[in-house]
């Protein structure tokens, strides 16, 4: 029983419902109103063999249904390690039934794990009438060794938003602020240079943030990535390594790392699932940035696996919105086209030049939607598996610039410079994982471009 008390003190992950002992017929109750911690202290988890349904965090159930068998195997090993099955130690996972029910207002889900009882592992009769029959056993997932325990954000938590002056970081800061998080920490580059390890560690030693959002990065479009590959690789590696390492060393309880859709192979299946990571060659035009982001993802997952840290990863698609970079030499495609079309209209030009053929397809997400998704993940998601964040549909570059021309009021012609690179042919994220968790975007592309253009015009005046 002492072992379970130790687990209880570290984890709030599991609720067991409808448990029945294989050794007898005593039922422990169909619906417990007690907390997970109370349940862990009860006789249920002191029993080696149970016929039970188990409530786990919703991401774990969804991932088990969608991910390959290696994920299931990892869960099985963890379950057996925690429960210390005794004479049933040589059980193996047979099936994960694809049935989900909502429990406790949708906060957790119920999953069923069916395991095979191996004949050779019998030393006592636990009620199984014949050797080798399939039995269902309860299991728990805790932070012991591999997975971080679930932690709810509190409005009083100190949250460091790294990169709060950038497009994504600024939107996340505003989102958290509007949601009532009152202890938000920010620092300018003059105050804390995130590229310098000692500068970052000095800040963490002083402030000890409980939650860290890594939205700081060196970003840019095709031209900037092509012109400065060394800077894109080194600066991003330094920034994220310094922040992630310090978050662990100084006791941060949760970290959200923002990656990018460019981490996926150039010819990934469309829409792109999270499982496409590292399955093919990257797009050469942004490879340095992509490699740095992949390293950040893997570092977060390594801290989770080795030290049980609650470090999560979100992969946003192409972002735009108020606060974007409109520098034609370093900006992304949407703000660059918006500025080009606006200036062409002001000059009275008959044409506007567009890089490439206009045929590549791109997905665009308003930065306010990204911020909403990030808050949702901080509040509801606690798994190391990456999560795509996108709008769910894409447009060609030609369709995008035609929409921009309509909004800006430019009536001239489009001139496509086919000597310039197109980049990846298509990049649409599969956002099934996030939508099944309960989040969806709300700002349409037309509405978002209109809002962004209004902001751009106000800034120019």
Active site residues: 289
CA separation (Å) from 270 to 158, 185, 431?
39, 38, 11
Neighbour tally for 423: CB within 10 Å: 21
Task: DSSP for 84-135, please give it.
Answer: T-GGGTT-EEEEE----EEETTTTEEEE-EEEEPPGGG-SS--S-SSTT-EE
Q: Where do we find the tokens 């995008």? A: 400
Name the strands in the sheet holding 92-96, side by side, starting at the edge strand that comes first in the sequence: 92-96, 113-116, 134-136
Q: Using CB atoms within 10 Å of the CB of residue 459, give its burial: 0 to 12 exposed, 13 to 18 middle, 19+ buried.
A: exposed
Burial tier of 72 (Cβ tally within 10 Å: 0-12, 13-18, 19+): middle
Straight-line distance from the first to the last Cα atom of the chain, in angstroms, rounded to the nearest whole number? 70
Q: Are strands 361-362 and 159-162 parallel, antiparallel or unpaired?
A: unpaired
Question: In this structure, are residues 100 and 60 in contact, taking their beta carbons and an 8 Å threshold?
Answer: no
Length of the chain: 461
3-class DSSP state of 365: strand
Q: How many CA atoms lie within 13 A of 339 on its CB side?
A: 16
* φ, ψ at 240 (rounded to 5°): -70, -40
- Identify whether 164 is preceded by a cis peptide bond (ω within 30 of 0): no
Q: Please name the residue that has the structure tokens 């560690």.
A: 201
Neighbours of 178 (CB within 10 A): 10
């Amino acid at each position: 029983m002492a072992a379970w008390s130790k687990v209880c003190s570290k984890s709030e992950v599991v609720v067991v419902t409808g448990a029945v002992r294989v050794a007898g017929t005593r039922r422990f109750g169909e619906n417990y109103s007690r907390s997970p911690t109370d349940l862990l202290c009860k006789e249920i988890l002191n029993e080696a063999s149970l016929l039970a349904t188990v409530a786990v965090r919703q991401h774990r159930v969804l991932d088990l249904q969608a991910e390959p068998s290696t994920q299931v195997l990892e869960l099985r090993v963890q379950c057996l390690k925690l429960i210390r099955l005794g004479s049933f130690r040589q059980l193996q996972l047979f099936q994960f039934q694809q049935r989900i029910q909502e429990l406790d207002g949708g906060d957790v889900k119920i999953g069923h794990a069916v395991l095979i009882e191996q004949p050779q592992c019998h030393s006592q009769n636990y009620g199984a009438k014949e050797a080798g029959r399939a039995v269902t056993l309860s299991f728990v997932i805790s932070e012991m060794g591999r997975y971080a325990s679930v932690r709810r954000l509190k409005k009083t938590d100190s949250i460091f938003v790294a990169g709060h002056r950038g497009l994504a970081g600024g939107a996340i800061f505003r989102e958290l602020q509007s949601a009532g998080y009152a202890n938000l920490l920010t620092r300018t580059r003059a105050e804390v240079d995130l590229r310098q390890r000692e500068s970052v560690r000095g800040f963490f030693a002083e402030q000890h943030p409980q939650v860290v959002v890594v939205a700081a990065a060196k970003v840019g479009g095709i031209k900037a990535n092509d012109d400065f590959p060394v800077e894109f690789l080194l600066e991003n590696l330094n920034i994220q390594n310094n922040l992630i390492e310090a978050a662990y060393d100084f006791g941060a309880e949760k970290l959200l790392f923002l990656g990018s859709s460019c981490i996926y192979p150039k010819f990934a299946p469309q829409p792109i699932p999270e499982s496409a990571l590292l399955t093919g060659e990257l797009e050469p035009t942004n490879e340095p940035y992509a490699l740095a982001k992949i390293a950040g993802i893997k570092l977060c997952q390594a801290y989770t696996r080795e030290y049980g840290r609650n470090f999560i990863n979100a992969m946003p698609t192409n972002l735009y919105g108020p606060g974007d970079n409109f520098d034609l030499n370093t900006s992304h495609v949407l703000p660059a086209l918006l500025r080009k079309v606006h200036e062409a209209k002001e000059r009275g030009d008959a044409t506007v030049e567009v890089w490439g053929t206009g045929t590549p397809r791109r997905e665009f997400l308003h930065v306010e939607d990204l911020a909403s998704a990030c808050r949702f993940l901080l509040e509801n998601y606690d798994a190391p598996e990456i999560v795509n964040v996108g709008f769910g549909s894409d447009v060609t570059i030609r369709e995008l610039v035609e929409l921009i021309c309509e909004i800006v009021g430019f009536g001239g012609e489009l001139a496509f410079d086919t000597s310039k690179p197109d980049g990846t042919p298509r990049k649409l994220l599969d956002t099934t994982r996030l939508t099944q968790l309960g989040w969806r975007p709300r700002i349409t592309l037309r509405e978002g471009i209109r809002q962004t253009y209004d902001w751009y015009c106000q800034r120019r005046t």
